[in-house]
Amino acid sequence: MEYIRSKDIYLLMRDILKLINPTLMEHGSRVAYIVYKMLREENRYEEFELADIVMVATMHDIGAYKTEKSRLNDMLQYETRDSMTHSIYGYLFFKYLSPVPDMSKVLMYHCRDYEKLQTVDYEYKDVAAYINIAEKIDIYANTMGAQFDPRMFQKQAGTKLSATGLDRFYQCDAKYNILEKLKDGSYKEELDEIAEYMIFSNEGKKTFMDMLIYCMGFVRESMVLDTVTTICICGEISARLFLPDQEREMIYYAALLHDLGMLGISQDILQAPRKLKPEEIKHVRTHVGITQEKLIHKVDEDVVAIALAHHERGDGNGYPKRLTDKQISLQQGVLQVGDVVSALVNKRSYRDAVSKQQVLRFLNDEVEKKRFKKQPVMVLVESYDEVMEHVRKETARILKMYQTLNMQYQQVSTKYKI
């Protein structure tokens, strides 16, 4: 059973990054389109290989979501002058967390002058050189508007930019009206069509889905730990309830995606070290609707239904639909418990982690009030220490690569004083 297609993982990833920064995401899509048109013309790659390149090109600036937060709107500055920071973070991010680690150096080299790039021995250096051309064209076309003439780059041919690449671009632009299509937005459809050729193995899909979690971390570091903890607790509960593999997989995807909509909620409110005002609570609650909007038609509907019910409660006082116990499935019930316990055992801006006794008391109260389903709570309470020990080990395992990446980035930053 396929709960999400490779193409939709790509589209979902774009949606997530768009929630974080629409300008940067659209830049990525336009660059991917230019590179796709250029490489397609050369017939060097099969369609499915081009699909991988499109994925990487779309995310060529992924490092900037993390490193350029304070100046995301000053693309000209960090893309053309101090490009090192976001290139290195992007490279490490792809190396450790993506399903295509062999393409990670494309991100490192995408801002490098062509002369220097020439000396490097790397399979995909042409792709990096083409991304470099494409991103310069996109940035300057957007900054200069009607005054932009792509021929202005001709004087950098062979030094900063690849001469072959530039010629290829001029030829493709004349043939396919690339700049025109970028301006009127008609490139988008063509780009989505190529995504049809994206085929990840099951393992690749899993890696890509995990990568989505780390993307959430660009906005709030705590979302990574929260999501991974929720996934692990749900996994432990599902196993102890002897749920069939299919249901466990559905719960896994739902747990991974359930709070995606939080990326659309204002940071000031989420990080406020105080109790929220009623209108702020109302705003936070819209995250379920945003999650729905992003997941619908991309993810299996049963998975979406589990994800969207994570704030429902059996007594009818949950949200957004005020479902009652009979309308809530066991799978939905598992995620409700996993989500709450994950929030309790992890720290918040306004409080410390909650103790075991408090968690157990809370769970018992909630079951008594018929807000939670009994079975998931029972299996969790019965072997709480064992479950939490597994969760601790599992989260540490999953987060290991992420921590290695952040540590290496720190080391490189210190070394290069960036």
Q: In angstroms, what is the minimal distance from the CB of 261 to Fe ion?
A: 8
Using the contact rule CB under 5 A, the part of the chain among 128-136, 162-170, 182-190, 243-251 near Fe ion is 128-136
Binding mask 72-111 for Fe ion (x = CB under 5 A): -------x--------------------------------
Binding mask 140-179 for Fe ion (x = CB under 5 A): ----------------------------------------
Q: In angstroms, what is the minimal distance from the CB of 385 to Fe ion?
A: 26
If one asks whether residue 26 binds Fe ion (CB under 5 A), the answer comes out as: no
**Residue placing its CB nearer to Fe ion in the complex, 8 or 79:** 79
If one asks whether residue 135 binds Fe ion (CB under 5 A), the answer comes out as: yes
Q: In angstroms, what is the minimal distance from the CB of 252 to Fe ion?
A: 17
Residue from 68, 126, 259, 300 touching Fe ion (CB under 5 A): that is 259
Q: In angstroms, what is the minimal distance from the CB of 362 to Fe ion?
A: 17
Q: Is-contact 363 337, C-beta < 8 A?
A: yes
Residue from 61, 68, 126, 173 touching Fe ion (CB under 5 A): that is 61
- Find, among 103, 69, 64, the residue nearest to 87 by Cα: 64
**Residue placing its CB nearer to Fe ion in the complex, 7 or 258:** 258
Using the contact rule CB under 5 A, the part of the chain among 71-79, 154-162, 171-179, 300-308 near Fe ion is 71-79
Using the contact rule CB under 5 A, the part of the chain among 132-140, 165-173, 235-243, 384-392 near Fe ion is 132-140
Using the contact rule CB under 5 A, the part of the chain among 43-51, 255-263, 358-366, 397-405 near Fe ion is 255-263
- Find, among 171, 233, 186, the residue nearest to 38 by Cα: 171
If one asks whether residue 366 binds Fe ion (CB under 5 A), the answer comes out as: no
Q: In angstroms, what is the minimal distance from the CB of 147 to Fe ion?
A: 21
Encode the chain in three state secondary structure.
Answer: CCCECHHHHHHHHHHHHHHHCHHHHHHHHHHHHHHHHHHHHHCCCCHHHHHHHHHHHHCCCHHHHHHCHHHCCCHHHHHHCCCHHHHHHHHHHHHHHCCCHHHHHHHHHCCCCHHHHHCCCCCCHHHHHHHHHHHHHHHHHHHHHHHCCHHHHHHHECCCECHHHHHHHHHHHHHHCHHHHHHHCCHHHHHHHHHHHCCCCHHHHHHHHHHHHHHHCCCCHHHHHHHHHHHHHHHHHHHHCCCCHHHHHHHHHHHHHCCHHHHHCCHHHHCCCCCCCHHHHHHHHCHHHHHHHHHCCCECHHHHHHHHCCCCCCECCCCCCCCEHHHCCHHHHHHHHHHHHHHHHCCECCECCCCHHHHHHHHHHHHHCCCCCHHHHHHHHHCHHHHHHHHHHHHHHHHHHHHHHHHHHHHHHHHHCC
**Residue placing its CB nearer to Fe ion in the complex, 52 or 68:** 68
**Residue placing its CB nearer to Fe ion in the complex, 28 or 376:** 28
Q: In angstroms, what is the minimal distance from the CB of 85 to Fe ion?
A: 10
The residues, ordered by sequence, that sit 6+ positions from 417 with a Cβ below 8 Å of its Cβ are: none
Minimal CB distance residue for Fe ion:
135
**Residue placing its CB nearer to Fe ion in the complex, 259 or 312:** 259
Count of residues interacting with Fe ion (CB under 5 A): 4
If one asks whether residue 226 binds Fe ion (CB under 5 A), the answer comes out as: no
Using the contact rule CB under 5 A, the part of the chain among 209-217, 256-264, 266-274, 358-366 near Fe ion is 256-264
Q: In angstroms, what is the minimal distance from the CB of 151 to Fe ion?
A: 21
**Residue ranges in contact with Fe ion by CB under 5 A:** 61, 79, 135, 259
